[in-house]
Chains A and B, each alone.
Chain A
Amino acid sequence: MWDNPSLRCLLAIAFLHLLSLIYSQETGFPEEPGNLKCITHDLNRMICSWDATSSANLGLTYKICYTNSEPFSPVCTETEGKRADLPVAMGSTNIQITTLNASGTPLATETFVLPEENVSLIPFTPQILNLSADFSTYTLYLKWNDSGSVFQHELDASWQIQILYKETMETVTLINYESKLTGKDSILFWNWTSDIPLECTSYYVKIRCYINELYFTGRKEWSEWSPVRTVPEKDTKPNSAMVFPQDKVVLVGSNVTFCCLYNEGKSVKFMNYGSESYPLLRLSKWSSAIKVQNVNASIPSGTNILCSLVPDDLEGTVLFVGYAPDTPQNLNCETRTFITITCSWNPGRPTALYTKRQTKYILFERISREKVTCKVDELNEKHHCDFPVHANQKIYNFTLGASNPLGQAESSLLIDVNQRVHLETPDKFTVSTNSSTNAHLSWYIPGNFIKIRLLCQIEISNSNSEQQLNVSMAGAENSNYRARVDALHPYGTYTFRVRCSASEYFWRWSKWSEGKKLTTLEAPPARGPDIWRQRSPVGETLTVFWKPLLLSEANGIILSHEVSCYLRERMLKAYEVPVPLNSTEIKLGGNDCLISVTAKNRAGSSPPSRITSVDLPSDNVKTELAIATGNGIYISWHSDPNVTCGYTLKWCISSGSEPCSVDWEMFPSNAIDAVIKSALFQPGVRYNFSLYGCKHNGYQLLQNITGYMKELPPKVAPNFTVEETSSDSILVKWEDIPVEDCQGFLKGYILYFAKGEKGSSKTSFMEEGSPELTVKNITDLTKKSLRILDLQGKTSYRLDLRAYTVGGIGPSKDLYVVTKENSVGLIIAILIPVAVAVVLGVMTSILCYQKREWIKETFYPDIPNPENSKALQFQKNICEGNTALKTLEMNPCTPNSVEVVETRSTVLKIEDTEIISPVADSELPEDGSDPGTGSHVVVSYCPPIIEEEISSPPIDEPVGSSQVIYIDIQSMYQPQVNPEEEPEINFVTTAGYKPQMQLPINNTMKMESHAPTEEDLDKTAGYRPQANTNVWKLDSPDSPVSIQSNNENRSFGSPCSINSRQFLIPPKDYEDSPTPNNTGWSFTHFFQNKPND
């Protein structure tokens, strides 16, 4: 039965139903309350709600009884709804809820134990009292009530403020705000600044609350969000657009968002910041924005922002970008008048904001709590502001505040006004005098300085000095101040100016007043002039000289000089000499007198200067030389004990054609030297001085002195001539240089001489640096000639003579002199070589005569033996290791190859015969052709045997019939020969080496067609034996014959001597002919070299 699945399923369902029934029996009735939930808003009262199943409104009510602890009896209340307010109790609360029907009969009862943990604290939903917007600052201001009175005690409250924007209500920010609930209702404020102008789009704000009660152990939850409050975006006028923000001022480097509001139906084409376009951000269907990062300082009229719309419309705004004011720098406050305190400062970095946006300064004084608004020019580097001085206030504590739309800064300064006195520039400055030594000064300084003393500085300056006097004086109010200056020089021109400051606490000088010039009155000259006299040569007249007084001594304008002549206190004569004369002539008439000179100006006469006219005789007056110091002339003299009233040094300076002006200087009796300086002294000019000694009875000339202020090199070269020349010497003579051209004391002459042709060089000896240069220094000035010795005959010399002084060497003068010819030397030069040659010739002749036999044997034997011939001995280094390169031996001949090279030359040539070694033969190519020369023919031959008897062969007899065996070279190269051309070629090729006596025959045969000249024949004949060739023809059948069969073939067997087997020299013409196979040493080389030698 249990195997039936259907049955098993039914049983399971039945079981589950049964369980359900059992459960329903356990839980009781459907009206039974359950799922109790309690929340509190104020921690005082909680709102509990529960669930109770009720299919219909049957008039059910609920009785709620609750108790917190045992001692108390439960409190009951009835409610129709499923919700009841209960007090919040510490710990747990027992709650019994009974469901009653309409007649009051309990239907179900349920008891709950509600612990505090199960109670939720949810604050009341907050309400926003006010939401306002400041569009200029993009700021939203929020105001709400914290409902603190709900709670009995202080609590920490947290608030969440949510800002949303755009139509889509996107969250901009969510901010937490903490506050304390004080048990009373409080209004809370909060503000928020937007990045985007508030006009650009709508903003929404809502808040919620959270109470953080530490002693409440239940759940603490956020309240519901408050109703949303809105800040609507700016409405645009119909058919217009607007760009925000308008005329805003922002800091450099800010990020700024600009929005363009427009009417529906339009759209933004582009938005520009300045001239640059930026990507558009869509805020709403009638608002778009751009965001500009890090803005730069704008021009004074601001940066333009454009919004171009479609259809055609353009709107814009202006943004001013600048800096907040810098802290005022170098704030300095001082008073100039004690009426106002002037504060000055440097504004620091320019703000780039002008006019109504520029920085405004307020000067605030803390002690008096007075403030002053300062008017400044933004473009000025230094700003000023005046603050009034208060009567009984010494200390001022200033704060200078700077503010502009972007910020503010301040700077402070504490001063004691008495210590910050900087007076105004003295005004109305006047200078006057009524004497020759003092002046009265007066000036005006604005301001009230009654409480302080002033210190004024008077500057007195003239052309060569500057002096400052300090004058302290009592301060006054807007007053003139006076001062007197003494100890001025008579008739002195002075410039006065004055400045002042506070005396007790020096702070700063005022500016100098304007300068005023003043000339003091005249006074009589301070002293008599320096005088000198000079007696005429005859002695009848005396010229009296005087020096003009210095300005400082004249005390005015010198009008005249009075010259008087006294004889024993009795004035004989008096002369009034007007300026500018500085000398006068007095006729003495043979008498001497005492001369007196006084200078006169408008104020009076000077004390007299006196000098006697007596000249004492002097003997043996020497002239000495002074020393030039560069800027003066050093003069020394011997002290004379008889000189009692000093020395006078007199000189005369002449300038041009004018008579020389007498000058002098006086020295005390103990002086022995002096450096005379004068502005009239010139370098290189000789001055003559006369030293007079003043003795009790007159003046005596003691010494004459000559000197220069500065010695220079002579101006000209000495004029010199060559007086005499010989083959080895020159006599040079020169003249003195005029004194005026010496420019110094002449120290000597320098003569340079060296070999040199006239016109060869224009440079001086020094520059040339000639190695043969000779220098002669002539220091003996009395010498006027010089003989130059040890010269070469018939040689041109260049002479250069110069004079020199301490100042240097003067210019040069050149002379070219040619010495005379040395005839003896020439004769000797000719005779000696001739004599030597004669002696050598004689000696050689004698020697040769004595050794004549040996010489003959050696060089000219009757029968030359090649073995003994040294001339034919090869040099060892050439022939070393090559035994073949010797004279031919008399050994039986081994056939050798003779190479015949054809040439194209029409001239028959005899070439060197090259002896080719068998080894070389073996290296020839098999086909017999030379790779380098196309027509190389090798001929074998055997030297003739002279012992054999030679018969005279017929002329037309073939060569082959000779005793000499010729190997036909053609036979060796048979394949090369064209059989058809055989007769002619045979003639050529079979020629090989032929005795020379056959040459004419062969040549005749050959040259018939070529019509050779005699010369050609000679050439082609090559080497001929020294004997007659005709004889050869007859008697020397073994003579070698050279036949050039064609133009190309130039190789022959070497010709042999008739009497020897030695190879003979080929014609010179062929020396240069290229040898076809000239790789090794050839016999011919030896001979070819000979002629060259």
Chain B
Amino acid sequence: MPWNVKTLSFLLALSQGLFIQCLAHVNSSTAPCRGCHRNSLDKITAKTRHMEKEAKELFRSYLTHQGLLTSELRRLCDEAIQWFPTENITDQPKMVMLQELYRTLVHMKDALENIKKQQQVLSTPGAALLGRLESTQWAVRGLLSNTFCALCLKGVLPNSRRTPERPAVTNTFQQKIDGCKVLRNYSKFLEKLARGSGKKAPQALRDQRKRRKGTKRKEGSLHS
């Protein structure tokens, strides 16, 4: 089994590398980054914290609306989804972290769209869950935009290709479980992200102060 783990890790790293390769390197001209603010990273950190709470509430609302409050079903929701990073991306270099975040959010945006479509059939019109889903969709779009800017400002233009369409699940139960898994993984992902960025926040603040003092020291590496 250790071999399998190694193999999997290797494959993961390889796919990650390929994904990064897919991101077209651009020069740092401001044209593609128009409208991007310099402190997009700070915005990402702040927004993540806000979204973490929202994601938990969404997950709780989803469980209630779908009648998934039993422990067995909640256990099903805990199953990992392939496109969510298995590790805490905040432990990785900033560039990798941003790219991973971007990739995950692109998936999440599509998944939320899918969940919303399903819930438009399963929920009563005007149900609170629909409102929360929509709110989360907006938040994801916002974070995605911020992440794009953060990458763009660092000279990386993320690939904007859509994720491949997944086969539609017709079984309502499976739809419920799929949605539940997505929202649970999303909640955990944001939790890790918020916790990780929380640890780094003091360092970021120190950096910000240094910049304000006019220290001309150039940032050594984008990956530091």
A interface with B by C-beta (< 8 Å): 243, 246-247, 272, 274-275, 299-306, 308, 314-318, 354-356, 377-379
- In chain B between 102 and 126, which residues have their CB closer than 8 angstroms to a CB of chain A? 119-126
Inter-chain contact B65/A304, CB cutoff 8 Å: no
Inter-chain contact B121/A303, CB cutoff 8 Å: no
A828 to B171, alpha carbons, bound, how many Å? 126
Specify which chain A residues have a CB less than 8 angstroms from the CB of B120 in the assembled complex. Answer: 355
Inter-chain contact A243/B173, CB cutoff 8 Å: yes
| Chain-A contact segment, one of B22-30, B31-39, B68-76 | B68-76
Inter-chain contact B173/A272, CB cutoff 8 Å: no
Specify which chain B residues have a CB less than 8 angstroms from the CB of A247 in the assembled complex. Answer: 171-173
- The smallest C-beta distance from A643 to any residue of chain B, in angstroms, reads 82
Given contacts A275-B70, A316-B177, contact A300 B171 (CB under 8 A): no
Inter-chain contact A318/B173, CB cutoff 8 Å: yes
Specify which chain A residues have a CB less than 8 angstroms from the CB of B124 in the assembled complex. Answer: 300, 354-355, 378-379
Residue contacts A-B, CB under 8 angstroms, 23 given:
A299-B65, A299-B67, A300-B123, A301-B67, A301-B119, A301-B172, A301-B176, A302-B67, A303-B67, A304-B67, A304-B68, A304-B70, A306-B73, A316-B177, A317-B172, A317-B173, A318-B173, A355-B120, A356-B121, A378-B125, A379-B124, A379-B125, A379-B126
Inter-chain contact B125/A301, CB cutoff 8 Å: no
Residue among A274, A306, A316, A377 having the largest count of chain B Cβ atoms under 10 Å: A316
A317 to B67, alpha carbons, bound, how many Å? 12
Number of residues on chain B facing chain A (CB within 8 A):
24
User: B69, B73, B125: which contacts A377 (Cβ < 8 A)?
Assistant: B125
- The smallest C-beta distance from A95 to any residue of chain B, in angstroms, reads 68
- B127 interfacial contact with A, CB 8 Å: yes
Inter-chain contact A314/B72, CB cutoff 8 Å: yes
A275 to B72, alpha carbons, bound, how many Å? 10
Inter-chain contact A318/B176, CB cutoff 8 Å: yes
- The smallest C-beta distance from B158 to any residue of chain A, in angstroms, reads 35
- The smallest C-beta distance from B36 to any residue of chain A, in angstroms, reads 40
A274 to B121, alpha carbons, bound, how many Å? 20
Nearest residue, chain A, Cβ from B123: A300
Specify which chain B residues have a CB less than 8 angstroms from the CB of A306 in the assembled complex. Answer: 70, 72-73
A246 to B70, alpha carbons, bound, how many Å? 20
Nearest residue, chain A, Cβ from B71: A275
Inter-chain contact B171/A246, CB cutoff 8 Å: yes
Specify which chain A residues have a CB less than 8 angstroms from the CB of B145 in the assembled complex. Answer: none
User: B69, B75, B127, B177: which contacts A300 (Cβ < 8 A)?
Assistant: B127
A317 to B75, alpha carbons, bound, how many Å? 16
Specify which chain A residues have a CB less than 8 angstroms from the CB of B69 in the assembled complex. Answer: 275
A1032 to B115, alpha carbons, bound, how many Å? 141
Nearest residue, chain A, Cβ from B172: A318
Inter-chain contact A355/B122, CB cutoff 8 Å: yes
Nearest residue, chain A, Cβ from B121: A355
Interface string of B55-94 (1 = CB under 8 A from A): 0000000000111111011011000000000000000000
Specify which chain A residues have a CB less than 8 angstroms from the CB of B73 in the assembled complex. Answer: 304, 306, 314, 316
- The smallest C-beta distance from B69 to any residue of chain A, in angstroms, reads 8
Inter-chain contact A302/B70, CB cutoff 8 Å: no
The 5 A-B pairs of least Cβ separation, nearest first, read A318-B172, A301-B122, A316-B173, A355-B121, A247-B172
Inter-chain contact A301/B66, CB cutoff 8 Å: yes
Specify which chain B residues have a CB less than 8 angstroms from the CB of A301 in the assembled complex. Answer: 65-67, 119, 122-123, 172, 176
Nearest residue, chain B, Cβ from A356: B121
Specify which chain A residues have a CB less than 8 angstroms from the CB of B76 in the assembled complex. Answer: 314
Residue among B69, B125, B126 having the largest count of chain A Cβ atoms under 10 Å: B125
Specify which chain B residues have a CB less than 8 angstroms from the CB of A243 in the assembled complex. Answer: 173
- The smallest C-beta distance from B169 to any residue of chain A, in angstroms, reads 11
Specify which chain A residues have a CB less than 8 angstroms from the CB of B171 in the assembled complex. Answer: 246-247, 317
- The smallest C-beta distance from B205 to any residue of chain A, in angstroms, reads 45
Inter-chain contact B173/A246, CB cutoff 8 Å: yes
Nearest residue, chain A, Cβ from B177: A316
B interface with A by C-beta (< 8 Å): 65-70, 72-73, 75-76, 119-127, 171-173, 176-177
Specify which chain A residues have a CB less than 8 angstroms from the CB of B68 in the assembled complex. Answer: 304
A305 to B72, alpha carbons, bound, how many Å? 11
Specify which chain A residues have a CB less than 8 angstroms from the CB of B67 in the assembled complex. Answer: 274, 299, 301-304
- The smallest C-beta distance from A382 to any residue of chain B, in angstroms, reads 16
Specify which chain B residues have a CB less than 8 angstroms from the CB of A379 in the assembled complex. Answer: 124-126
Inter-chain contact B172/A300, CB cutoff 8 Å: no
Nearest residue, chain A, Cβ from B120: A355
- The smallest C-beta distance from B184 to any residue of chain A, in angstroms, reads 15
- The smallest C-beta distance from B120 to any residue of chain A, in angstroms, reads 7
User: A272, A299, A318, A356: which contacts B70 (Cβ < 8 A)?
Assistant: A272
Specify which chain B residues have a CB less than 8 angstroms from the CB of A354 in the assembled complex. Answer: 123-125
A881 to B66, alpha carbons, bound, how many Å? 113
A354 to B119, alpha carbons, bound, how many Å? 11
- The smallest C-beta distance from A79 to any residue of chain B, in angstroms, reads 64
Specify which chain B residues have a CB less than 8 angstroms from the CB of A314 in the assembled complex. Answer: 72-73, 75-76
* Additional 10 contacts, C-beta under 8 A, given A275-B69, A377-B125: A246-B171, A275-B70, A300-B127, A301-B67, A301-B119, A306-B70, A314-B72, A316-B177, A355-B121, A355-B125
- The smallest C-beta distance from A374 to any residue of chain B, in angstroms, reads 16
Nearest residue, chain A, Cβ from B173: A316
Residue among B70, B76, B123, B171 having the largest count of chain A Cβ atoms under 10 Å: B171
Specify which chain A residues have a CB less than 8 angstroms from the CB of B75 in the assembled complex. Answer: 314
- The smallest C-beta distance from B124 to any residue of chain A, in angstroms, reads 5
User: B123, B127, B176: which contacts A304 (Cβ < 8 A)?
Assistant: B176
- The smallest C-beta distance from A874 to any residue of chain B, in angstroms, reads 108
Specify which chain A residues have a CB less than 8 angstroms from the CB of B70 in the assembled complex. Answer: 272, 275, 304, 306
Specify which chain B residues have a CB less than 8 angstroms from the CB of A318 in the assembled complex. Answer: 172-173, 176
A275 to B65, alpha carbons, bound, how many Å? 14
- The smallest C-beta distance from A952 to any residue of chain B, in angstroms, reads 131
- The smallest C-beta distance from A101 to any residue of chain B, in angstroms, reads 76
A301 to B121, alpha carbons, bound, how many Å? 8
Inter-chain contact A308/B125, CB cutoff 8 Å: no
- The smallest C-beta distance from A989 to any residue of chain B, in angstroms, reads 109
Specify which chain B residues have a CB less than 8 angstroms from the CB of A316 in the assembled complex. Answer: 73, 173, 177
- The smallest C-beta distance from B58 to any residue of chain A, in angstroms, reads 15
A378 to B121, alpha carbons, bound, how many Å? 13
User: B65, B72, B177: which contacts A308 (Cβ < 8 A)?
Assistant: B72
A814 to B78, alpha carbons, bound, how many Å? 93
- The smallest C-beta distance from A888 to any residue of chain B, in angstroms, reads 117
Specify which chain B residues have a CB less than 8 angstroms from the CB of A315 in the assembled complex. Answer: 173
Specify which chain B residues have a CB less than 8 angstroms from the CB of A300 in the assembled complex. Answer: 65, 122-124, 127
Specify which chain A residues have a CB less than 8 angstroms from the CB of B65 in the assembled complex. Answer: 299-301
A354 to B65, alpha carbons, bound, how many Å? 14
Specify which chain A residues have a CB less than 8 angstroms from the CB of B177 in the assembled complex. Answer: 316
Specify which chain A residues have a CB less than 8 angstroms from the CB of B122 in the assembled complex. Answer: 300-302, 355
Residue among A301, A303, A377, A379 having the largest count of chain B Cβ atoms under 10 Å: A301
Nearest residue, chain A, Cβ from B66: A301
Residue among B65, B122, B123 having the largest count of chain A Cβ atoms under 10 Å: B122
Nearest residue, chain A, Cβ from B76: A314
A336 to B197, alpha carbons, bound, how many Å? 62
- The smallest C-beta distance from B171 to any residue of chain A, in angstroms, reads 6
A409 to B13, alpha carbons, bound, how many Å? 62
Inter-chain contact A246/B72, CB cutoff 8 Å: no
A316 to B123, alpha carbons, bound, how many Å? 19
Inter-chain contact B125/A246, CB cutoff 8 Å: no
- The smallest C-beta distance from B146 to any residue of chain A, in angstroms, reads 33
- The smallest C-beta distance from B121 to any residue of chain A, in angstroms, reads 5
A315 to B127, alpha carbons, bound, how many Å? 27
Specify which chain A residues have a CB less than 8 angstroms from the CB of B72 in the assembled complex. Answer: 272, 306, 308, 314
Inter-chain contact B173/A304, CB cutoff 8 Å: yes
Residue among A272, A300, A315 having the largest count of chain B Cβ atoms under 10 Å: A300
Inter-chain contact B172/A302, CB cutoff 8 Å: yes
A308 to B69, alpha carbons, bound, how many Å? 16
A318 to B171, alpha carbons, bound, how many Å? 8
A305 to B177, alpha carbons, bound, how many Å? 12
A314 to B74, alpha carbons, bound, how many Å? 11
Residue among B66, B72, B75 having the largest count of chain A Cβ atoms under 10 Å: B72
Specify which chain A residues have a CB less than 8 angstroms from the CB of B123 in the assembled complex. Answer: 300-301, 354-355
